[in-house]
Homo-oligomer: A and B are copies of this chain.
Amino acid sequence: MFDFIIKGKESRARTGILKTPHGEIQTPVFMPVGTKGTVKAMTPENLTSINTEIILANTYHLMLRPGEKLIKKMGGIHKWINWDKPILTDSGGFQIFSLKDITKLTEEGAEFKSYLDGSKHFITPEKAIKIQTDIGADIIMAFDECTHGNSSKSYAKEAIERTHRWALRCKKEHQELAKTRKKPQALFPIIQGVIYDDLRIESAKFMSDLNLPGIAIGGLSVGESKEQMYHTLEIINPYLPENKPRYLMGVGTPEDLLEAIDRGIDMFDCVLPTRLGRHGSFFDSTGRHAITNKKFARDANPPDGKCTCYTCKNFSRSYLRHLFTENEILGMHLLTLHNLHFLINLTQETRKHISKGIFRKFKKDFFKHYKIKNDKSV
């Protein structure tokens, strides 16, 4: 289980297949985010219709409500949310550190205040693994200390060293719990190190040596520049295990996907397409646009004339603009569906072009038309 077979390569870019207990994932892959056990405004049927292969859920949110014990009692996350394809859960580290709700940090673990009611909780690497075992995803993540892009080097060093010790504890706990679980889970460790080359390389080496079924890169797209992110991917590349999937956490935009795939990344997740969809922005081959723009009021064209999704096959910009003007749920649904389809379709195109050895040309052509927005606004 969790074999990763590389089917094609072009320079550092790869396309492959990852085997999981709930089916195969073709890479490069974009994973829609289902924070609270639902990809916002999507049914499982909708997700399948746009070729979603794996979704993500957030341990931080689910442990606080409804609680991992309830999910376990209801037969595990797949059954409970009615999604029989692969699922990945993060460890909660990102939320705990980025929401700045952390109240105490020790070698043992982190104490934080719940975003729901301010109640205090203490999480350890072992507990993060236990919770994820109860939730029951196919891929689970080691508990890490996620540092902001402008952190000092001394703090960044302290954080990766702690994250490395925590990763060892996560691995041990995971091996212990795996003995009594029916369906296997893959544990991925997370490379940190902010934007310091030597720390990133040190972390990449350490995590690779753990010899787990995959490896993740965390702490990027959290405040540093795009150039710094791409540079980091380049310098760690030689230290990553070749035959294991590499997951760049929390990324991203169409341009980041293409640049990261070009630097050897296989897996991505980001709330951007769903969040933009709920706030009335959509992608097409020329960039990102706000549907409420007055110029769309009598525009009979679909959001993206080249797109084959349900939204683009059936609805005009004029009608979609009306739905957003009226704050109708259908508008959020339709643009979410389109945006997810756009990113998933983009990864499908990269697979095809890597297999044929013409990914670089595809990427170059894409950027001829696509205008990059350097912010995360809608």
Q: Which A positions have Cβ atoms within 8 angstroms of B? A: 36-38, 40-45, 65-66, 70, 73-75, 80-82, 297-298, 300, 310, 314-316, 318-319, 322-323, 325-326, 328-330, 332-334
18 contacts across the A-B interface (CB closer than 8 A): A37-B319, A38-B330, A40-B329, A41-B329, A42-B330, A43-B330, A43-B333, A43-B334, A45-B310, A66-B325, A70-B297, A75-B300, A80-B316, A80-B318, A80-B319, A82-B315, A329-B329, A329-B333
Residues of B close to A328: CB separation below 8 A:
36, 38, 40
A370: min CB distance to chain B, Å: 28
CA distance A251 to B215 in the complex (A): 58
Q: Which residue in chain B gives the minimum CB-CB distance to A332?
A: B329
Chain B residues with CB below 8 A from A40, complex form: 328-330
Q: How far is the CA of A40 from the CA of B329 in the complex (A)?
A: 6
Chain B residues within an 8 Å CB radius of A75 = 300
CB of A327, distance to nearest CB on chain B (Å)? 9
A73 nearest in chain B by CB position: B298
Instruction: Check if A66 sits within 8 Å of B314, measured CB to CB.
Output: no
Query: How many copies are assembled?
Result: 2
The smallest C-beta distance from A66 to any residue of chain B, in angstroms, reads 5
CA distance A82 to B319 in the complex (A): 9
**Cβ contacts under 8 Å, A74 to chain B:** 298, 300, 316, 318-319
Given contacts A74-B316, A297-B70, contact A65 B329 (CB under 8 A): no
CA distance A43 to B311 in the complex (A): 10
How many Å from the CB of A134 to the closest CB on chain B? Answer: 14
Q: Give me the 4 closest cross-chain CB pairs, A-B, nearest first.
A: A41-B329, A38-B330, A82-B314, A36-B326
Q: Which residues of chain B come closer than 8 Å to A41, judged between CB atoms? A: 329-330, 333
**In the complex, which residues of chain B have a beta carbon less than 8 angstroms from the beta carbon of A323?**
38
- The answer to whether B45 and A322 have CB atoms under 8 Å apart is no
CA distance A298 to B67 in the complex (A): 12
What residue in chain B is nearest A313 (Cβ atoms)? B82
Report the Cα distance A297→B325, complex, angstroms. Answer: 36
Question: Which of chain B's residues have a CB closer than 8 A to the CB of A43?
Answer: 310, 330, 333-334
Residues of B within 8 A of A333 (CB): 41, 43, 329, 333
CB distance from A52 to the nearest CB of B (A): 14
Q: How far is the CA of A142 from the CA of B328 in the complex (A)?
A: 28
Is the CB–CB distance between A298 and B70 below 8 Å? yes
- Interfacial chain B residues near A322, Cβ < 8 Å: 36-37, 65-66
A318 interface neighbour in B70, B318, B330, Cβ under 8 Å: B70
Chain B min CB distance to A375 (Å): 25
- 9 other A-B residue contacts (CB within 8 Å) besides A38-B323, A40-B328, A82-B314: A36-B326, A37-B322, A38-B326, A40-B329, A45-B310, A74-B316, A80-B318, A329-B332, A333-B333
